[in-house]
Structure 1
Amino acid sequence: MKRFVFFCFCLLAWNVDYAQQKYTPYVILVSFDGFRYDYVSKFNPPNFKEFINKGAAAEGMIPSFPSKTFPNHYTLVTGLYPGHHGLVDNSFYDPSLHKLYSMKDKSVVSDTAFYGGTPLWQLAQQQGIHAASFFWVGSEAPIKGMMPDYSLVYNEAVPNEERVNQTITWLKLPEEKRPHFISLYFSLVDSEGHKSGTNSDDLRKAVWKADSVLGYLVNQLNTVDLPVNIILVSDHGMYELKQEEATYIVLSKLYDATDTSIITSNGGTQAHIYTRKADSLYNVIKKQESHFKVYKRSTMPKAWHYNVPRAGDLLIVAEPGYYIQDKARAFGNLKSTAFGVHGYDPGVVKEMRGIFYAMGPNIKPGTIKPFENVHVYPFVAHILGLKTPAGIDGDFNVLKAYYKR
């Protein structure tokens, strides 16, 4: 009898453990880079519309300043503003490291010195949960000595379906190896938005291709008997400009860019200037303000959370509709060609807003008022049962109403 009772106890314990394994939540954080908040209503992609109808959907998600790819992807997985996590732009200079960071430079992209905060994959691993990343800013650097359990070096040429297939393969691993947090990235909408602007038929086709990718992901997840939450986000929106001379602010006309005491990192919508001549150079540029503003670091708006050395001693910020270039250029036959940019102040320029759509067993359906993207981090962490680090900028209470146990 005692053996039978012991056997029943062990069986019950195994069943409870199995149930906990099966129903411990999963989160796939999916980024469609450059997917503007109004593209669904503008282009009517069916899978996105169905996803929104079944889940929670924000009227728009507000990026952090500047509304660029690298700063905001890293904000999404750290809950910190760019000025607090360190990636203040797609490219910038670090005066203490004496290094230029550029998203196209693999040597610095994998340099942990540039990354602050605790990314979601690392937070999960620290608390006993496996994590994977099929491309995400920061996932190629061993931040605090730790990489995601599964990750890949960024390669834009990898087909989107292959990215989905690998995600499903990870979810079909044995429980002891299976990631409960996966980040997944797609660039097709952003790439086309840059090329042809926000009103082109080519962009519509790109949005519909993204829609097919979403449909494929959802269909493939039906083959996995797991409680998976899908959160769709974008890092920023897009603003259409015209390829004509009047669009551009030319740095070489504002100051002597050949002066070796001045380091400039031009991001198009902002230009970061690092120099010991900040006061005198500020006066020179200030007198020429036209369709841009120049700031000393100490005078930058507090809402930007940008008073850090990497942001520059001076910052030139273009007005919406204008773009910064290093030197004047020839335009040829391109004067009427539209193109898309981002980076403007998301607190002012609505076109910079991205998306937040969520669906799954731990998501309450509903419409969410626009909110800042720093709040995604604690929301994902809460779904996964993770404790967030002290000092993050995000607050779970912002999205608490859309969490379901």
Structure 2
Amino acid sequence: MKYGLFLYLPNHYALVTGLLPSHNGLTGNSFYDTGSGKNYRYSDRKKYLDKTWYGGTPIWVLAEQQKMLSATYYWIGSDAGIKNVYPTYYYNYNEVTGIRERISTVVNWLKLPAEDRPHFITFYLPHADKNGHAFGPESIETKQAVKLIDLAVNELTGAVKTTGLDVNFIFVSDHGMIEADYKNPIDIQAVVDTTNYKVYGDASMIQLYAKPGADMVPDYNKLKSNATGYNVYLKTNIPRHYHFNAKDDLYGRIGDILLMAKSPKMFKFGNYKVNPGQHGYEAEEVPEMRAVFYAWGPAFKKNTIIKPFKNVSIYNLVNKILGLTFTEKVDGNDELAKKVLLINSLK
């Protein structure tokens, strides 16, 4: 899969809404809303659970609205009551729950009587991402995490077989990862006075939101003239193919100045911890950022390899399989579904 430069939360949410970050409300793992003057940080539980941050209609909301049961074993926003709708079954996120317990829960959902059984289930395994950040993508620890996930998926599919149900599986990641230059991070505070801005972002992308009275143009020019290891844009001149400039800013949550690190460089700001493994770089320029996509089950063609596609089209794909209808405009399309689904599975 491919698309843009975005991080964990925006990509997770794009997968289940069919909307790009500029249209789904989440323009970063943390960001500022220029209209309300509030900020979002996924690490802040109260802010994370505020449903007003989340745009679009996630698949579980669409399913529940159309009288179909859904279940989420951790997915961004699924426990926030978006549009006043929760999945029939869901869990608040935590990293303590073991893989076997998660698998057991999913299998038990599928063993419920037909009237209580969810038709759509999300299941998240954070182990490779966590170790990749902490130790680097090529580390022994990350390879062990990948092996653990591989065994878990095998265990899950085997357990699902025992239910006798025809289940469709879609296995995806929200991003790739590279070995970053974490020993020599870029300190933007050494380049420009950031006291005139509200600063939000991550190691690969920083957004500067101008405070009243900030003189952006000189600061932008200073950042531009010192742009070694990063690109810098005013909100009005961010390249169109990112779908992340002033014209795309549906919720007023994109920074006035955007800084994007060039692989393998990364930013350091304040007390933010830099890690060996990093993502969020431009997918077209850094192939390692591209995510995986595997799908199998009765609805899918067999032995089919497809070219990279936009991850927002997974929304259309899942809705086709479930027979769900939607009228809201999304950023994905039906081309992926046409390529991978059997004709009699198109609904």
- Taking structure 1 as the reference length, what is the TM-score of the superposition? 0.79
Q: Percent same amino acid at aligned positions? A: 37
Match of 2:111 in 1: 172
**Shift of residue 311 of structure 1?**
1.7
Which one has a bigger Cα radius of gyration? Answer: 1
Which is richer in strand? 1
Residues 287 and 212 of structure 1, relative CA distance in 2, 3 Å threshold: same
User: Residues 6-405 of structure 1 correspond to what in structure 2 (within 5 A)?
Assistant: 61-62=1-2, 64-245=3-184, 248-257=185-194, 259=195, 261-275=196-210, 276=212, 277=214, 278-307=216-245, 308=249, 309-327=252-270, 339-365=276-302, 366-404=304-342, 405=345
Residues 226 and 305 of structure 1, relative CA distance in 2, 3 Å threshold: same
RMSD: 1.8
Q: Match for 1:371: what amino acid?
A: F
**Shift of residue 270 of structure 1?**
0.8
In terms of mean alpha carbon deviation, does 280-289 or 75-84 score higher? 280-289
Q: Aligned residues, how many?
A: 334
Residues 329 and 234 of structure 1, relative CA distance in 2, 3 Å threshold: closer
Q: State whether residues 239 and 342 of structure 1, in contact with CA within 8 Å, keep that contact through their aligned partners in structure 2.
A: yes
2-structure distance, mates of 1:217, 1:297: 45
1-structure distance, mates of 2:217, 2:143: 47
1-structure distance, mates of 2:236, 2:181: 33
Residues 208 and 330 of structure 1, relative CA distance in 2, 3 Å threshold: closer
2-structure distance, mates of 1:266, 1:181: 32
| Structure 2: stretches of 5+ with no match in the other structure | none
Q: State whether residues 320 and 337 of structure 2, in contact with CA within 8 Å, keep that contact through their aligned partners in structure 1.
A: no
2-structure distance, mates of 1:330, 1:132: 34
RCO comparison, higher one (Cα < 8 Å, 6+): 1
Describe the superposition over 1:130-183 as per-residue Cα deviations: whole angstroms up to 9, x where unpaired: 001000011121111111111110011110111111111111112112110000
Q: State whether residues 10 and 28 of structure 2, in contact with CA within 8 Å, keep that contact through their aligned partners in structure 1.
A: yes
2-structure distance, mates of 1:285, 1:86: 27
Q: Match for 1:183: what amino acid?
A: T
Q: Match for 1:361: what amino acid?
A: P
- Taking structure 2 as the reference length, what is the TM-score of the superposition? 0.92
Provide runs of 4+ in structure 1 moved above 6 Å. 328-331
Q: State whether residues 110 and 117 of structure 2, in contact with CA within 8 Å, keep that contact through their aligned partners in structure 1.
A: yes
Q: State whether residues 250 and 328 of structure 1, in contact with CA within 8 Å, keep that contact through their aligned partners in structure 2.
A: no
Match of 1:35 in 2: none
